């Protein structure tokens, strides 16, 4: 569902937004697709960060055990 909003923008920013819309061949309102991409990328980053931090907390099981004695340590 789409909702209309009212924005207060600096004249210079509005001019740049209109120029950007003109370059893309869309209306200023259609630039909402760009906002969707930015928000989507932010959400993707947040999810990836959360997964990565969970993996770091869990750690890796390297199945390493320490040697039982000094002699075992230096066996070749």
Question: Is 50 part of any domain?
Answer: yes
Question: Is 40 part of any domain?
Answer: yes
Are the C-beta atoms of residues 31 and 21 closer than 8 Å to each other?
A: yes
What is the domain extent for residue 44? 30-60
From first to last of the 76 residues of the chain, give the pLDDT tens digit.
888 888 898 999 999 999 999 998 999 888 888 888 888 999 999 999 999 999 999 988 888 887 778 887 787 6
Q: What pTM was estimated for this model as a whole?
A: 0.50
Are the C-beta atoms of residues 67 and 73 closer than 8 Å to each other?
A: yes
> Which residue has 């009212």 as its token pair?
6
70: enclosing H helix or E strand: helix 70-73
Question: Is 9 part of any domain?
Answer: no
């Amino acid at each position: 569902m789409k909702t209309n909003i009212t924005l207060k923008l600096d004249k210079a920013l509005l001019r740049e937004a209109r120029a950007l819309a003109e370059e893309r061949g869309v209306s200023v309102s259609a630039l909402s697709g760009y906002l969707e991409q930015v928000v989507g990328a932010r959400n993707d980053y947040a999810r990836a960060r959360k997964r990565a931090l969970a993996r770091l907390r869990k750690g890796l099981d390297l199945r390493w055990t320490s040697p039982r004695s000094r002699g075992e340590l230096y066996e070749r």
